[in-house]
Amino acid sequence: MSRSPVGVVLLTYNCERWIERTADRLAALGRPVVAVDNASSDGTLAILSRYPQFEVLRLRRNIGAAARNVGARRLQTDYVAFCDDDGWYDDEGLTFAAELLDRQPRLALVNARILVGEQARLDPISAIMQNSPLADVGSLGGKPIASFMAGACILRRGTYLQSGGYDERFFIGAEEETLSYKLLRAGWQLRYRPEVVMRHYPSSANAENLRHYGVRNTLVNAWLHRRFRSALRWSCFIAMDSPKNRNLVYGLAMTVRALPWIVRERSPMSTELDDMLTSLDRHWLDNGRATPRRPAHRTGQLAERESAHR
């Protein structure tokens, strides 16, 4: 078998009830797969051990999204497709993404079209990306985006690693934001391409226990990267629009504890980039819809997005 330009990093955590379905689909791709397990305590690893074509790495502790960094470092492919334990890619889309990245040297990331469940319903976030109002700078095709879905994207592996990958301090939930801002600030382009398909069978096993991380992380990301007025406006919106429950309280408290980190590392982006993000916020909020950076409690997206390892 010739060397594949795309390898898959599969992230798992306590998913024995559904991982076999995902593993079967990934094994059928015939591409390199590195499965990184976030210290599962169930039978996940026993099931993964049945797939000799996978390289399986077991971490001693759950480090959330940063486990993807471990897998990316072990791959030898040019591009990496990140996959959560409750979904898989169509092979034709991975080939399309690799060819597109080969042709477009300023394109760092391709976000897949996500089809949910047996009915193959279009995920709400995919619908949002499909209607992105951003101009196609550089005529790269597809829809320009300013954030992405961590478990449904194909990236240049070297660019991902050079950027530092996912920051372990964020653990899980909105972890994509800091990475996307780093890529945009470095001049990279991000695109949504419906030709790349991710099949998603959502598991919300631990979603309710993790929502506060999403609140904390979107606020921390805003204050680390966005200019003062837009960071303040976004923070007020999150505080007012989020359900008034313990997740909001915990998320705000965690944000306060992160203040030394924010003060130490805050580096506001350019006015041009900040204006672009603000226009995205305004566009989607004016239309009464969530953005890829907004907690989506009203549409149920968060429960669908968060797998057991989150």
pLDDT in tens, the chain (310 residues): 346 799 999 999 999 999 999 999 999 999 999 999 999 999 999 999 999 999 999 999 999 999 999 999 999 999 999 999 999 999 999 999 999 999 999 999 999 999 999 999 999 999 989 988 898 877 788 999 999 999 999 999 999 999 999 999 999 888 899 899 999 999 999 999 999 999 999 976 656 667 889 899 999 999 999 999 999 999 998 888 888 898 999 999 999 999 999 999 999 999 999 999 988 888 767 655 444 444 333 333 333 333 333 3
CB 48 within 8 A of CB 37: yes
Q: Residue 270 carries which DSSP code? A: P
Q: Residue 118 carries which DSSP code? A: T
| Amino acid (1-letter code) at residue 142 | G
Tens digits of residue pLDDT in 76-111: 999 999 999 999 999 999 999 999 999 999 999 999
Pairing of strands 107-116, 152-156: antiparallel
What is the full DSSP assignment across 34-101? Answer: EEEE---SSSHHHHHTT-TTEEEEE-SS--GGGHHHHHHHH--SSEEEEEETTEEE-HHHHHHHHHHH
Q: What is the pLDDT of residue 209?
A: 67
Reference 280, options 199, 192, 198; nearest CA is 192
Q: What is the pLDDT of residue 70?
A: 98
Q: What is the pLDDT of residue 204?
A: 65
Q: What is the pLDDT of residue 299?
A: 32
Q: What is the pLDDT of residue 205?
A: 60
Q: What is the pLDDT of residue 294?
A: 42
Q: What is the pLDDT of residue 310?
A: 32
Domains of the chain: 6-200 (3.90.550.10), 207-305 (no CATH)
- From first CA to last CA, the distance across the chain in angstroms is 34
Q: What is the pLDDT of residue 154?
A: 98
Neighbours of 244 (CB within 10 A): 9
pTM for this prediction: 0.89
Q: What is the pLDDT of residue 208?
A: 61
Give the integer Cα–Cα distance in Å for 261 and 241.
25
Q: What is the pLDDT of residue 85?
A: 96
